Amino acid sequence: MIRNLTELYQYRALLIALSMRELKARYRASVLGFLWTFLNPTLNMLVYVLVFGMVLRSSVPNYAYYLFTGLLPWIFFSSSLMGGTSSISDRRDLLTKVRFPAQVLPATVVLTNLINFLLSLPLLLGLGLFFGVLPSWHIVFLVPVLLVQTFFTLALTYFFAALNVAFRDLQHIVTNLIQMAFFLTPVLWDLKSIPAIAGLTKEQTQELVMRVNPMASVVGSWRAIFYEQRVPDWQPLLTVAALSLVVMWISTWVFERRREEFAELV
Amino acid sequence: MNALAPTDAIVVDNVFKSFKKTSKRNEYTTMKSELVRLLKFQRRLLEPGTQIEALKGIDLRIPKGRTVGIIGRNGSGKSTLLKLMTGIYSPTSGTIEVKGRISALLELGAGFHPDFTGRENILINGIILGMSRGELKERMPGIIEFAELGDFIDEPVRTYSSGMFMRLAFAVATHVDPDVLIIDEILSVGDEHFNRKSQAKMNEFRRSGKTIVLVTHDLSTVQSWCDAAVWIDGGKVRMFGDAAQVVSDYRRAVAAAEAEGQKTGHSALDQPGLALPGSEAALQAQEPVGSVSAVRLKDGAGTAPKAFDPHAPLTIEVDWALREKAKVRFGLDLIGADGRLIFSTAQDGGERSGTGTTTLELKRLGLGGGVYELLLSAAGNGEPVKNPFRVALHVAPTEGVGLLRPELRWSL
């Protein structure tokens, strides 16, 4: 795991160059260009606000802002995973023609989405101001939460990217899993509003969601910083961090074992 | 076993490479089959039937500063060997050691993005090929100048003509400044002018003592460019040595195989073990009356230098054999590195039998520096010459260029 990550650091020039290229290429031919970085999540949010805020009448105050604090990190996570899964299998041009460090490819996708996420943070703060929420000092906790989420995302992306080279079904499975996970994560809804189901009490159900879904903890932490303006609960966050280490260890192991066949199978 | 000696650039030690055969019905391993395998704790089985052995035990030692050509039929494993040297593939067994920075020109323009300008693509492609940002900044003007794109350098690459695209890609790839350069059949990338320029660039590489490994089907390139050649056949090294010698033996074998009515077009991998028949065996089947068994080249002093002095005499000793008593006719063809016939002569030798040695003396060699090929033949009873003995003739370079080196004197 350490070797894989230090190698990634060695190739940072490549990683940065490729990420810049992705960011520039994404909106190059469009008229609005870079504005789409802000427009995409905003439009996305407006759709959800229309459905869940106005039609289904969510009881959460400042629902648009509440939604946005969860939606932005979720987009970072889901786009990384969806783009990253096919990042190796799509780059036959690079892998079979030059000596190329394969782990740079999924990392590029994660880094690109991370930068996109950071760029859209001012938008989040702006929306907060619109609802009269001033940013508080709790914003410093952005750093640890961001680190945990990035590490967790990278670990999962590695894993799927390595396996997708041999089983291309995975990219379709991942797309569907992510959609399911989106509704299992308290992005659109409030964890506190969850009903008691299948013989469990309300608290137990909440506990269950937090346990099975690491992204619930991560999204909860973002909410704590920006929406509730308090110190994020450190316990679930540490659990995710520990889990990320385990996933990363497994991912890099799988990755190292499979990387030799990448050039032959893509 | 074979340690990397300081004079070696690449050492290939007993390398095998096999690929999994992916049949139509089961193109990729499915999730289910993998799960079942995992649940049964089975290791992936390497059944011999589902494997393609592309390389079957390659041993090769490429010395530093040499230009080595790899030749062989389609599917003989040349490109696989290059990809192994580059590190794109890893060997199934055996080891490959490469000393120094390696740059591979397997495909030009890998990673080019059509929407980016030439300048932006140089930056990204350069980093992909292993240059640092600082190196790139330094070499950028040189690359742009070499590519000769003019104002197009700031236009998106998708608007380029294919020639412009190749020029740009070639310019980046050759400015990496590698210790070992690996080239797969891409020396002709543009018009006449750019071809000369890229040839000059390659010569510059050679002069600065870099190791070049190139795969090509252009045999005259190998003869004129390479110090040594490797002939890969059916995943094995058939021959490794002096470029002219290897090329001439390869040509002979291909001609012999064609004479036997064998298709050389199909891959050596299609039918395992099918290599070109040994030229000797094939030729014996045709049973010519006369043949040349050995040729010795000597200069005026009776020694055999590595390269001959154009001003000195050349003595050619030909050992011949006749299967029966026959009228013999000796022949000599002198071939240039581009395959063109420079000089041809023949001499009737009267009625002879058995074996013997005939000597031909050139009073003054008179050739320009370079590699030539001599074809010596001894034909009996007017039979056509089918199997001339081929020998390489290295002529030491002198002042002036070209095939001819006349005796000259300036009056000033």
Q: Is the ipTM of this complex over 0.85?
A: no
CA neighbours closer than 13 Å in the CB half-sphere of residue B229: 28
Nearest-Cα distance to chain B for A166, in Å, is 7
- Other CB atoms within a 10 A radius of the CB of residue B192 amount to 8
- Compute the distance between CA of residue B112 and CA of residue B117 in angstroms, rounded to an integer: 10
- Compute the distance between CA of residue A33 and CA of residue A26 in angstroms, rounded to an integer: 8
For B84, name the nearest residue in chain A, comparing CA atoms only. A99
Sorted by sequence, the CB contacts under 8 Å of residue B92 that are 6+ apart come out as B16, B17, B18
Task: Check A263 against B31: CB less than 8 A apart.
Answer: no
- Compute the distance between CA of residue A247 and CA of residue A152 in angstroms, rounded to an integer: 8
Task: Please state which architecture CATH assigns to domain B288-407.
Answer: Distorted Sandwich (2.70)
- Compute the distance between CA of residue A49 and CA of residue A66 in angstroms, rounded to an integer: 10
Interface check for B127 against chain A (CB to CB < 8 A): the answer is: yes
What DSSP letter does each residue of chain A carry, written as one string? -HHHHHHHHHTHHHHHHHHHHHHHHHTTTSSSGGGHHHHHHHHHHHHHIIIIIIIS---STTHHHHHHHHHHHHHHHHHHHHHHHTTTTT-HHHHTTS---TTHHHHHHHHHHHHHHHHHHHHHHHHHHHTT----GGGGGHHHHHHHHHHHHHHHHHHHHHHHTT-THHHHHHHHHHHHHHHHTTTSS-GGGPPP-TT--HHHHHHHHHHH-HHHHHHHHHHHHHTS-SPPPHHHHHHHHHHHHHHHHHHHHHHHHHHHHHHHH-
The two structure tokens encoding residue A60: 């959460």
Give the torsion sign (CA, A27, A30, A34, A37): negative
Q: Give whole-number Cα distances, A204 to A194, A198, A201, A243, B78, in Å.
A: 10, 10, 5, 21, 64
Task: Check A29 against B115: CB less than 8 A apart.
Answer: yes
Interface probe for A, chosen from B107, B128, B155, B172 (most Cβ of A below 10 Å), is B128
Residues of chain A with pLDDT > 70, as a percent, come to 100
Q: Give whole-number Cα distances, B136 to B141, B144, B148, B232, B265, in Å.
A: 9, 11, 18, 37, 43
Q: To which residue do tokens 């490797």 refer?
A: B230
Q: Which of helix, strand or coil describes residue B320?
A: strand
Query: Tell me, what's the pLDDT at A172?
Result: 93
Q: Give the pairing type, strands B180-184 and B211-215.
A: parallel
The two structure tokens encoding residue B270: 């299609």
Query: Tell me, what's the pLDDT at B126?
Result: 86
Interface probe for A, chosen from B28, B88, B121, B136 (most Cβ of A below 10 Å), is B88
**What radius of gyration, in Å, describes the C-alpha atoms of chain B?**
26
Q: Which of helix, strand or coil describes residue B270?
A: coil
Domain limits of chain B?
A: 1-100+179-269+276-286, 288-407
- Other CB atoms within a 10 A radius of the CB of residue A257 amount to 10
Sorted by sequence, the CB contacts under 8 Å of residue B30 that are 6+ apart come out as A167, A169
Q: Give whole-number Cα distances, B275 to B50, B81, B216, in Å.
A: 21, 17, 19
* Chains A & B: contacts with CB separation below 8 Å: 72
> Between A128 and B4, whose confidence is greater?
A128
Q: Which of helix, strand or coil describes residue B257?
A: helix
To the nearest 10°, the Cα dihedral for B92, B93, B96, B101?
30
Dump pLDDT digits (tens) for A39-69: 888 899 899 888 888 887 778 888 899 999 9
**What residues of chain B score a pLDDT lower than 70?**
1-5, 21-34, 37-50, 186-190, 259-287, 384, 386
Mean pLDDT score, A13-23: 87
Answer whether B91's CB lies under 8 Å from B103's CB. Answer: no
Closest residue by Cα to residue B398 from B305, B312, B302, B297: B312
Task: Please state which architecture CATH assigns to domain B1-100+179-269+276-286.
Answer: 3-Layer(aba) Sandwich (3.40)
The two structure tokens encoding residue B385: 């010459």
- Compute the distance between CA of residue B52 and CA of residue B97 in angstroms, rounded to an integer: 24
For B104, name the nearest residue in chain A, comparing CA atoms only. A98
Query: B322 — phi, psi (to 5°)?
Result: -120, 135
Dump pLDDT digits (tens) for A212-227: 889 999 999 999 999 9
At residue A71, does pLDDT exceed 90? yes
Dump pLDDT digits (tens) for A72-95: 999 999 999 999 999 998 888 788
Answer whether B318's CB lies under 8 Å from B374's CB. Answer: no
Query: Tell me, what's the pLDDT at A157?
Result: 95
Q: To which residue do tokens 């077009």 refer?
A: B265
Residue from the list B88, B124, B132 with its beta carbon closest to the beta carbon of A263 = B88
Interface probe for A, chosen from B28, B80, B85, B185 (most Cβ of A below 10 Å), is B28
Q: Which of helix, strand or coil describes residue B333?
A: strand
